Structure 1
Amino acid sequence: MLKFSLSCDLTTCPQYCTCDIKNENLTVDCSRNARKQSPVTVPICENVSLLINVSSNELTELVIRRYEQYTTVILDASNNQIRTISSELKNRVLLNELNIENNSLEKIPMDLKSSFENMQTVHLKNNSWKCDCELDWLVSLIKSSIIEKENKFTDIDMVTCSNPKELVNIKLKDFDSQCDSHDGKDKSALKPWQIVLIVFGILFYLSLASAIGFCIVLRRRIRITAN
């Protein structure tokens, strides 16, 4: 379905999608057509916002394309089977809003942190979030958003851990990880120098125990000989 506007030519609308421009918003609707990827190109329009809808498809990986001619971009990728988000997102256009709810995401790469920090609205609920150190940066961002009352994350009480088993249904905003400065490193992990000290301590203890044992045995033998 193609419509024409004085602002831009919509004949370059992606195949099996509908494009419409209204109220200074270009909508590229590619939902519900069994797509496996987001559209590579969209019509080029000036002074409008871009809304791309790829919801209710068969996407397993979300790859953000280059829509650099737009300063305001909203991407709806909800209701798919997305398990990964491409790290290329960090070098792509700034997203103002991202909807990835109702997918199969366990984590989001930390190198997307700056992109998520710059988004105004993010929808995360109903995914398979694995609450561990790799997700700690996102948990920290959620908590900061709550403290600063930004309302960046919608339905935050419905964004919960799916694994590990002991954390199932724990809200991400309540997840207290044991990670070092949100860099994905476990605070409980021993540093090399700590491991060396522990090894030396164990060896010293074993040596001391052996020496004491030897002295006890030797003393008993001396007593037996004396008798």
Structure 2
Amino acid sequence: MIQKQTLTFLKDLVVNNNRDWFLANKERYDEARENVIGLTGDIISKLHLIDAGVNPDLDPKKCVMRIYRDIRFSKNKTPYKNNFGVSIPSSGLRLGGVEYYLHIQPGKSFIAGGYWMPQGDHLKAIRQEIDYNAADLKKIIDDKEFINLFGEFRSQEQLKTAPRDYDADNENIALLKLKSFIVTHPLTDKALLKNNIADEIVGLCSKIYPLNVFLKTAIA
């Protein structure tokens, strides 16, 4: 479970996003991070039973992303993120790609899965898999329960025109034009504080699992 003080720390960080305050509250940050690491380890061990591709030896510390922002090319110069991000790859040890993602931010937390902004050969391979086996993907994303949990899959950001090598009148053009292949489900602060939140998150990941299988098959 997430401790109340973890969410309180993130709330305080929003209004005190500067180095002096952060250093003065470093112990609070360390405690909050350890809380998130603990939850991550619990999720990994349970999720492996659902998705065998999730490596049970994943180091939860490495799955929790850095809180320090890269401000070199950003107009926003605040040095710290106001959230904890957790990346759990659906295969192997490398973060990113086809994954499950947990976002912890007061009032804006969510669980997600799929493949965010694939590039190059991976994007080409996913589009090819959709073109060849769209029925398999549509069986997943058009399931009533899936839509109730994650919304309309096709409503993600799309290209303005058909991708190269595909006709605009292709019956699956709305899927082929997608830039990302992800789903998200919100998590309330109250839910995060529950003792069984790891089980709830893994339950949601079990619904994302077929999508991840489709995507992993595409890029294999």
TM-score range, shorter chain: under 0.3
* Structure of higher CA gyration radius: 1
